[in-house]
Amino acid sequence: MFSFTASMASPATRPDEGAFKTPKTVRVRSCGSNGGTPITIPASPFMKKLGCGTGVNVYLMNRVGKVNASPWAVKKINSKCAAKQLPVYQKRLNEEAKVLKGIDHPNIVGFRAFATAKDGSKCLAMEYGGEQSLNDLIEKRKGDGLKAFPAANVEKVALHVARGLQYLHNEKKLLHGDIKSCNVVIKGDFETVKICDVGVSLQLDENMRVADPQAEYIGTEPWKPKEALDDGGEITDKADVFAYGLTLWEMMTLAMPHLEMLEDYDEEEEEEDSMEISFDEDSYYERLGTRPPLDTEALGSSYRRMVELFYLCTEEDPKKRPSAAQVVQALENNTPLEKTASEVIVID
């Protein structure tokens, strides 16, 4: 079976209510400060749960007592993780804090603090401006019986995420490593668009290849390009571009890549004692790393630019995919986007 990071979800009912004891807030110091101002991180039950991911929960921290202070999003290790997995998640959170601290871009969620509680648990505080994940918006739109996002919304996400990737690739020499709708946050009616979750990013060399040949590309299975699925495949900045193309596809289809066999699943029709979802697993794995189908006729002419961009970014051969910088240039200037040195695809 496949596995992927859960989308933002509502808080689960707290187990063992009778044994629950009122927790206390913990005063901690932010990472990198030497005797700096202590930061008070409330215990998890006193913060609104914004969502969850693999091994972590994200909470809303209102900064009480701070005049005109904006709230923070606080990422904490899920205490229910198996003990053997805790070191892995702690390492990822440490790495994410280290990377995020060195990033300053309007299309990437900003660093605020990294703290260690008295019990040793790590807390990564990030900017929060009322955002929802793009995946949340996709699920809501689908639940409301709507179709693809308006072309203008798709184009805005395309440009702003590409700008964030250009900054990561060209200025910071970093591969994000897990681009998908869950890791794009939107404020209001697409007022701002930002990339989040850099915890599995990888360093790139001057040729845009992953610098450490032993480094593991994590990603999320349905969004992985072919080179990340094959043993010995060379990982470059174009791995992010492939996943970026699938993220645009998500906005135009309101679905997850390669998981269309689950669309007709009705949980209420399943037997109460059955927890299995039946689908063609072999077919699913065969499709991984390929371009999923897109009904361009149903979308209409207003989506032409985004359809062409999707096709370019999801080429199986990474050398045929554009760089993030090329995408930004084409979208900002409404100019042709070079597919290869000898072939040009016009986006107009």
Active site residue 178: yes
Question: 344: which strand partners?
Answer: 338
Strands 131-133 and 184-187: antiparallel
Q: Measure Cα distances from 262 to 205, 274, 296 in Å.
A: 39, 16, 22
H-state helical runs in 133-219 = 134-143, 151-166
State phi, psi for 85 to the nearest 5 degrees. Answer: -90, -15
From 104, 136, 178, 317, the catalytic residue: 178
Q: Measure Cα distances from 47 to 25, 81, 148, 168, 188 in Å.
A: 11, 20, 33, 31, 21
- DSSP secondary structure of 224-257: --HHHHSTTPPPBTHHHHHHHHHHHHHHHHSS-T
* Under 8 Å between Cβ of 185 and 131: yes
Q: How far is CA 92 from the centre of its chain?
A: 14
Q: Quote the CA–CA distance of 1 and 5 in Å, as a whole number.
A: 14
Determine the 3-state secondary structure of 292 from DSSP.
Answer: coil
For the annotated catalytic residues, the residue numbers are 178
